[in-house]
Structure 1
């Protein structure tokens, strides 16, 4: 953290210094150098890739070599090192990189260049290559000559008979208009001058020179601009300080958020790792994230998606298929993962889904379950009168009994009581034989069977399946009876398929299917659902009555799951429960419930979690308003 802050402080002061430096140059055209000892480059020159185009005059482009030499390129492809620039005299001092200026002259054409030789006395020469000649001749060009031949420069029109004794000479090329001393001697330094642009009068006025920025200006038109306009530097410094301070504050804030998030995430990871260390004796397999990608074939086949993750189909082998739930990194703080592994990883029941393994690889978390090919119960009860999905009443009764046994096992069959808090059709999965298995323990809580009553701060679960006491303690304390209530709603959905029929337009907005089912049974009318014979009608009626017993307002009026199993599996006709949609004295209601089905106790648990995020709602204060919230199914 400290090193990052130092870096941003350095960045801030560097930014401020750059603002000041820009204030000292004109129009973003600072004076630059290729190297520490190189000539200063400013208008009319500009450095390639370092100055914008408007910073230089056309034809005055310089570049830098890897060795920080400043290079001027003259027509045609003559490259010379720039050693000095005299802006006042408009003279540039150059040097041949190969220390043989005559070799460059063959390709030099200054007719179209802004640069000319500074010398006034220019002559034209012809160069001859002679196989044998006098090596001490003053016209000999030493850097072009060698032992096998000699090169001489002869003024145009001059005879060379005195030069040749017994060898042949061949004219190589002509050099028009060059200084006479350029060809002879070892001096590889030259001076070139330019006449346009002429910025001398700007220098006299103490101003900078730049091209005139008008659409009708010619290339020779220039203007003078102040070097440092009064107050401009101060404004730029102030602007730089403000902007730099803002950037610094933003960077520090971003770093704080990043490190805070990283610290919290690391704490979650430590928490999970400690839990897994304690849990390793329970023997579910731990997979790496690479294993998860391999098992799911790179997460290609998606089975579904929920509030806390996405489920993919996978294979452990050709015979063993699995369902892999990838938990969302942005959801929860690791509690979802721990809940799932802690609850179903340590228990085994035919009606509870089996956890095969898990993944806790860095920030990635996944759960590996047995694969159930028939999916969730929800798709088979969405409409009970749809023949293509309807399973038959005998099979629905078996499914209801299996779910009840699974919940009873969670409540009474384990060393500690497990409360699911999210019993609903989409959380009941069916195997190849349509045996139900309870899944999704992300909201589950574990408590001791003899735990005393405590309060709960917020409701949790899915709206429509949440027991009234989860919203208001006027109905009683939260206990395992909350799962009983959710199971009752599930039974009513199995009977009615969430579908209200034969309801007039006038009262459609006020009648909901649990109340509709109760009214039909109370009036001894047909349930108006897909029933083929009398036996099926008895099963549907039994499921409906048990469901209505389970959704009584007060937890004490609901049967325990052990009693629910007896009611579902028994052959005797069941009594109608009290009407859950009227508000009567609890004493009168209890008087109507058969003694053999009365609950024998009520235990509650501590709780502080909230509703599933996609179903959040505030607690209900008004009694009648609570009815409408819980029984409206969109």
Structure 2
């Protein structure tokens, strides 16, 4: 009905040379009465301006900042709606934004906050708690992070991957609803506020958690009809349920690829400083693949064993940083020798095993890293058969922070290179 009215007015008034401002006003006054029960009158006007200018073959020059912002939101919502309609069979329950407000009790209890939005505790039924992640309204995202989360997690059913309960998409208001993890994220259990080593778990329990995370990532890589690369494995994105069963979460950076694709193309580095694989920063290190997640898992594994961050302050100057994996490597290489280092420690058998596997995972060349299937086998196997890997050449406690941090900020297109196997 709207289009027929627009076309009628267009032909009637453009022939007479009526000014565009009058032309739009006439249409607005006549049409708004038909739609004011469904949308705000101002939004109706702005939408009509865009539609009319498109019909008239003109560029949208009369919108102004308010109109441009409205159209960006409208276009983004339309893209998301098309995606949701095409994937209805894969997606769980859809909630209205008013329901999200009720579920979270007006966003009363915040569980956390990340780069893509804030997470709130909610209750969909009596005693049935959920985690509601409200995605930020960054216009640059254009709904991509929402589509990434729903398209990846919506098709997954695995004990070590967080379950998507539902979602919300109303214009710029978007949310994803996950099962609630009673014990929060892993970082709260392995890091202390003052930077001293923290060990809340027995070594056996820590290994059990590591195996669960590894199985979850392996399932993402090979257990679905499409390969899912997470690109943001870190302690904050590993959630623990009431039994401390780990579940991989936060798929805002994840990408889907056909299984036959051994090489992946992305336009910019993606991930978190301290966990991002070298090839995501520069293709000189190799091609992007599921081995990029293996690298992130290796950094996570070393932090789990150490009970501290690999780099105390990734944003600080290089002179103030201590790169922990480098110290661990030297300790493992010269276990029987006296070492002149300022950080003395003895290694438990299971601790040594986690360090060795972690060091294998963070090899610089992707082809030198094990697959996640091999990582699971290494974690479940005998530590006596594990050998010390080569020392990655990027190890340097004096330069690693500054070098990687400066390259992380690059948004330029990075060319793919072939990797020798």
SS at match of 1:282: coil
Q: 1:570 aligns with which of 356, 381, 387?
A: 381
Give the aligned partner of residue 490 of structure 1: 300
CA contact (8 A) 2:196 2:308 kept: no
Structure with greater contact order relative to length (CA < 8 Å, sep ≥ 6): 2
SS at match of 1:333: coil
Q: Give me the TM-score of the superposition, normalised by structure 1.
A: 0.50
Which residue of structure 2 lines up, in the alignment, with residue 101 of structure 1? none
Q: 1:539 aligns with which of 319, 343, 350?
A: 350
Deviations 1:518-562 (A, max 9, x none): 11111116995587xxxxx11100000000000000000000000
Against the structure 1 CA distance between its residues 462 and 385, is the aligned structure 2 distance closer, same or farther, given a 3 Å change threshold? closer
Indicate if the aligned counterparts of 1:500 and 1:516 stay in contact, CA closer than 8 A: no
Partner residue, 1:326: 134
1:555 has 2:366 as partner: yes
The secondary structure found in structure 1 opposite 2:175 is strand
Q: Which residue of 2 aligns with 1:77?
A: none
Worse-superposed segment, 448-457 or 370-379: 448-457
In 2, Cα distance between the equivalents of 1:467 and 1:337?
24
Q: What secondary structure is seen at the aligned counterpart in 1 of 2:82? A: helix
User: What is the rounded CA distance, in whole Å, between the counterparts of 1:500 and 1:307 in structure 2?
Assistant: 21
Pairing partner for 1:520 from 331, 337, 343: 331
The equivalent of 1:458 in structure 2 is 268
Q: Distance in 1 between matches of 2:310 and 2:233?
A: 22
Match of 1:618 among 406, 410, 417: 410
* Aligned partners of 2:303 and 2:310 also within 8 Å: no
Structure in which a larger fraction of residues adopt helix: 2
SS of equivalent residue, structure 1 residue 322: strand
TM-score by length of 2: 0.73
Matched-pair contact (CA < 8 Å) for 1:471–1:619: no
Larger CA Rg, structure 1 vs 2: 1
Matched, 1:421 2:213: no
1:260 paired to 2:72: no
Cα distance change, pair 356–571 in 1 and its aligned pair in 2 (3 A): same
How far did 1:264 drift?
Answer: 2.6
Number of equivalences: 337
- The residue aligned with 2:284 is 474
- Are residues 619 and 6 of structure 1, via their aligned partners in 2, closer, same or farther at CA, if it must alter by over 3 Å? closer
**Whole-angstrom distance in 2 between the partners of 1:359 and 1:456:** 28
Supply the RMSD in Å over aligned alpha carbons: 3.0
Q: Report whether the alignment pairs 1:344 with 2:156.
A: no
* Structure showing the higher strand proportion among its residues: 1
2:162 pairs with one of 336, 347, 353? 353
Whether the 8 Å CA contact 2:302–2:310 is kept in 1: the answer is: no
Long gaps (5+) in structure 1: 10-251, 502-506, 532-536, 584-612, 621-634
1:4 to partner: Cα distance: 8.0
Instruction: Could you tell me which runs of 5 or more consecutive residues in structure 2 were left unpaired when the two chains were aligned.
Output: 1-5, 7-17, 26-59, 312-317, 396-404, 413-421
